Structure 1
Amino acid sequence: MVTDTSRVDRALFVTGAWVLALIWVLPLAWAIWSAIHPPAFVTRFDPLAPLTVENFVGAWNAAPFGRYLLNTVLLVSLVLGAQLLLCIHAAFAFARLEFPGKSILFALVLLQLMVTPDILLVRNYATVASLGLLDTILAIGLPYFASAFAIFLLRQTFKTIPKELDDAARVEGVTLLGLIWRVYVPLAKPTILAFALVSVSHHWNNFVWPLIVTSSVETRPLTVGLSIFATTDSGIEWSTITAATLITSAPLLVGFLLFQRQFVQSFMRAGIK
């Protein structure tokens, strides 16, 4: 039996969901409107306004977006590959192996979660500069090759896997590396997918660090490339800016729309709040 209280709770929940949806959708809707209409219609709504692709053409021609896109794909792939390779092994060690200083090392990993990346900008820049890696894609990704968040998340998942599987694999002659990649990694796929989505999204949108360590078109990612769409002599060209922003965010947006079910399920299974 549905009570008045439950009806009120449901109404509040639905209202809150609509408010949050509007807060997210309205800026996107305005960006799409501005990008597909002439500049004169940026600040006014007219159902009869003519559609145009000139803003996208102008944005694409104003910057080498093809190169920026390639750099971004290479960057997120490099970072994600390095993170999974390093963090899967580190998480397994913290979850299953015993070694001196294990608790202290894991406490240091957790401590890193409380340190904002901006605090390390100067130190990371000095390190990258000393290695002669400035203005390279490797310089952008190197500080993120190890992820405390990934280690913690995967460790918690690995600890839920029954130890009997370890014994069964060892009886079959599986090596330690084989145990990790043939037993633990397949069972942790939802968690790995959840982290991969977070990692790709973060490094696709990262701006400050790539801006600091890059200075040429050959190494700049999409977010830094957008910085060329600043003010001109005639002011801010919002139509061009929104078109360039949609070009930059379109791959992530399309990917989310295509894989939204897997996206939500992976986070639910991984226990990410």
Structure 2
Amino acid sequence: MLAFGAIWLVPFAWVVRTAFQPSSEAAGSGGFGAWTSWTLANFAHVWEGAPFGRYYANTALITFGILIVQLLTVTLAAYAFARVRFAGRGMLFALFLAQIMVPPDALVFSNYQVLNQMGLLDTKIGIMLPYFASSFGVFLLRQAFRQLPYELEEAARMEGCSRLGIVARIYAPLCRPVYLSFAIVSVSFHWNDFLWPLIVANSDTNRPLTVGLALFAKSTESGAQWSYVCAATLLVAAPLLVGFLAFQRKFIDSFMHAGLKG
């Protein structure tokens, strides 16, 4: 694992080194030469060269907007599959599992047609809409709900608690590690998502960081200045890196406690 970690760190270390190098030195260095000087001017140039502030706001709105809706939809669906008896439950759940095996990129054309008919192209809601439900999240929470003793729900029913109250007061609090694990996966995926936002968003008003970074890297303003491109890359990746380093223990504990049985 240390060897694989070292291999992963090599390109990351090069990006960090190049991002803080003056553009004149970065253009002439093809490897890890001597680091004679460093500067923050690259980040200032990148911030002024593209509306990264707007890209940050768009990305945060899209990522956490999707997560909030997903937590609601996957919770209700998972509870229904875990505790509610209805006709065709097994077949419907099998269809949910089948969706996990379908990559999102395979649905790009059909989703684009639907959004075009709804008039939601080049909108934030258009980027978010296909991800408001998550078959992976439903599966994860359904397995977690099934592990909880059913006697807890029976006791709550005897006290007059409704189904929604049972979910909110019993199931959700007891499955916090699973929710955190799902949130990590969801935020990481949608923060780094590129293809779907690239197709849907056509203006800076709705573009996220990944699309903005690609356009900045291709622009004539950045050209072949690797110091600017690496600085922009660090700006995009910094929030996830800082978040992981700050909450590393909680992240690891959440995945350790989210192990699923049967």
TM-score interval, normalised by the smaller of the two chains: over 0.9
Instruction: Tell me the number of residue pairs that the alignment of Structure 1 and Structure 2 aligns.
Output: 256
1:165 aligned residue: 152
1:91 match: secondary structure:
helix
Higher mean alpha-carbon deviation, 161-170 vs 228-237, is at: 228-237
1:127 aligned residue: 114
1:95 match: secondary structure:
helix
1:81 aligned residue: 68
Report if aligned partners of 2:20, 2:40 keep a CA contact under 8 Å in 1.
yes
2:224 to 226, 236, 242: 236
Give yes or no for the alignment of 1:41 onto 2:25.
yes
2:165 aligned residue: 178
Shift in Å, 1:46: 4.4
Give yes or no for the alignment of 1:20 onto 2:4.
yes
Q: Which letter maps to 1:241?
A: V
After TM superposition, list the pairs within 5 Å mapping 1:1-273 onto structure 2. Answer: 17-42=1-26, 43-228=30-215, 229-230=217-218, 232=220, 235-271=223-259
Q: Deviations over 1:142-197 (max 9, x none)?
A: 00110000000000000000000011111111111000010000001000000000
Q: Which letter maps to 1:34?
A: T
Equivalents in 2 of 1:56, 1:232: separation in Å? Answer: 17
Report if aligned partners of 2:62, 2:127 keep a CA contact under 8 Å in 1.
yes
Report if aligned partners of 1:71, 1:219 keep a CA contact under 8 Å in 2.
yes
Shift in Å, 1:18: 2.0
Shift in Å, 1:230: 1.7
Report if aligned partners of 1:169, 1:179 keep a CA contact under 8 Å in 2.
yes
Q: Sequence identity, in percent?
A: 51
Equivalents in 2 of 1:69, 1:121: separation in Å? Answer: 24
Question: What RMSD over aligned residues (CA atoms) do the two structures have, in Å?
Answer: 1.4
- TM-score of the two chains, using structure 1 as the length reference: 0.91
Q: Flag the 1:107–1:41 CA change in 2: closer, same or farther, 3 A.
A: same
- TM-score of the two chains, using structure 2 as the length reference: 0.94
**Where in structure 2 are there 5+ consecutive unaligned residues?**
none
Equivalents in 1 of 2:49, 2:62: separation in Å? Answer: 22
Equivalents in 1 of 2:23, 2:32: separation in Å? Answer: 12
Equivalents in 2 of 1:103, 1:256: separation in Å? Answer: 37
Equivalents in 1 of 2:51, 2:127: separation in Å? Answer: 19
Q: Flag the 1:65–1:233 CA change in 2: closer, same or farther, 3 A.
A: closer
**Where in structure 1 are there 5+ consecutive unaligned residues?**
1-16
Report if aligned partners of 1:231, 1:237 keep a CA contact under 8 Å in 2.
no
Q: Which letter maps to 1:243?
A: A
Equivalents in 1 of 2:95, 2:183: separation in Å? Answer: 23
Q: Deviations over 1:32-90 (max 9, x none)?
A: 10000112433244445111111111111111011000000000111001111101000
Equivalents in 2 of 1:120, 1:25: separation in Å? Answer: 34
Report if aligned partners of 2:49, 2:221 keep a CA contact under 8 Å in 1.
no
